[in-house]
């Protein structure tokens, strides 16, 4: 069994080495791993750090010649991933790789082919901005309404799925439309998403958090488009 950990990166000089160290430190008994890092044309020195990280045998680094967005970086990572299970890991330190065993368990036990780590199922978390939480819950509610499901955290970074699911995805959204697009495609293909509680250490805007309230409109449009247009 092989796990591909997909890491989209853009201007994360302060965190990229530490998150990769944490990923490598996770014990996964009987599971081979590869780390696929895609640098989305960083301009802050991240690329130079990744040159050093690429010396690790389990780490493969790919670079975009121009900035295209998280969705495009994940698509590039998917093209190079060879694992039986694929897991998306943001390059900041908001999500804890020590929770990989919890995320993988439903797939390894054949209970589901898709697992999301939810920040709203009772796991420990740093207090979020109120309006970020409201926006997330509104967009998740719309997802549930449109796709007849009961998710609690559609926008979570931690999305885990099997090779079978990955091979059926046809992703196009380059930026923040990625999360609703992959969720919509998974649900429209009849897969049910298994959620597990995760911890969350959200960072502040001054620490490098990139998403804003304006991105919510992109998410909403993507959800509607895939529900009614396809």
Report the distance separating Cα 16 and Cα 18, nearest Å.
6
Average pLDDT over residues 66-84: 97
Report the distance separating Cα 113 and Cα 162, nearest Å.
6
Supply the range of the domain harboring residue 69: 2-228
Helix H or strand E segment including 70: helix 70-80
Report the distance separating Cα 189 and Cα 168, nearest Å.
8
Query: CATH number, domain at 38?
Result: 3.90.550.10
Report the distance separating Cα 82 and Cα 33, nearest Å.
10
Report the pLDDT value the prediction gives residue 209, as an integer from 0 to 100.
47
Q: Where residue 225 falls among pLDDT bands split at 50, 70, 90? A: confident
Domain count, the chain: 1
Average pLDDT over residues 116-140: 79
Q: Where residue 223 falls among pLDDT bands split at 50, 70, 90? A: confident
Report the pLDDT value the prediction gives residue 217, as an integer from 0 to 100.
74
3-state SS record for 126-189: CCCCHHHHHHHHHHHHHHHHHHCCCCCCCCCCCEEEEHHHHHHCCCCCCCCCHHHHHHHHHHHC
Report the pLDDT value the prediction gives residue 208, as an integer from 0 to 100.
44
**pLDDT exceeds cutoff 70 at 204:** no
**pLDDT exceeds cutoff 90 at 160:** yes
Closest CA to 18 of 80, 88, 89: 89
Please state, rounded to an integer, the average pLDDT across all residues of the chain: 90
Report percent pLDDT > 90 for the chain.
76
Report the pLDDT value the prediction gives residue 212, as an integer from 0 to 100.
55
Tell me the two tokens of residue 124. 């420990």
On whether the CB atoms of residues 203 and 209 are closer than 8 A, the answer is: yes
Q: What is the pLDDT of residues 17-42, one digit of tens each?
A: 999 999 999 999 999 999 999 999 99
Beta-carbon count within 10 A of 70 CB: 25
Average pLDDT over residues 89-115: 97
Report the distance separating Cα 40 and Cα 91, nearest Å.
12
Residue 93 burial by Cβ neighbours in a 10 Å radius (0-12, 13-18, 19+): middle
Report the pLDDT value the prediction gives residue 205, as an integer from 0 to 100.
46
Report the pLDDT value the prediction gives residue 175, as an integer from 0 to 100.
79
**pLDDT exceeds cutoff 60 at 222:** yes
Q: Where residue 125 falls among pLDDT bands split at 50, 70, 90? A: low
**pLDDT exceeds cutoff 60 at 49:** yes
DSSP designation for 30: T
Beta-carbon count within 10 A of 103 CB: 21
**pLDDT exceeds cutoff 90 at 93:** yes
Report the distance separating Cα 68 and Cα 173, nearest Å.
10
For the question of whether the overall pTM of this predicted structure is more than 0.75, the answer is yes
């Amino acid at each position: 069994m092989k796990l591909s950990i997909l890491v989209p990166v853009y201007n994360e000089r302060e965190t990229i080495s530490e998150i990769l160290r944490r990923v490598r430190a996770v014990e996964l008994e009987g599971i081979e791993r590869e780390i696929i890092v895609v640098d989305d044309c960083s301009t802050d020195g991240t690329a130079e750090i990744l040159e050093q990280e690429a010396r690790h045998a389990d780490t493969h680094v790919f670079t975009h010649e121009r900035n295209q967005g998280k969705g495009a970086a994940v698509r590039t990572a998917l093209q190079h991933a060879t694992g039986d299970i694929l897991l998306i890991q943001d390059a900041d330190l908001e999500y804890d790789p020590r929770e990989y065993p919890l995320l993988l368990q439903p797939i390894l036990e054949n209970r589901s082919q898709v697992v999301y780590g939810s920040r709203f199922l009772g796991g420990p978390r740093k207090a979020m901005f109120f309006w970020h939480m409201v926006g997330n819950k509104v967009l998740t509610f719309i997802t549930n309404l449109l796709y007849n499901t009961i998710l609690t955290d559609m926008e979570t970074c931690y999305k885990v799925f099997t090779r079978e699911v990955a091979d059926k995805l046809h992703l196009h959204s380059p930026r923040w439309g990625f999360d609703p697009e992959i969720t919509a495609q998974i649900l429209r293909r009849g897969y049910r998403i298994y959620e597990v509680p995760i911890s969350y250490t959200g960072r502040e805007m001054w620490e490098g958090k990139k998403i804003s309230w304006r991105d919510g409109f992109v998410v909403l449009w993507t959800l509607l488009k895939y529900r009614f247009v396809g």
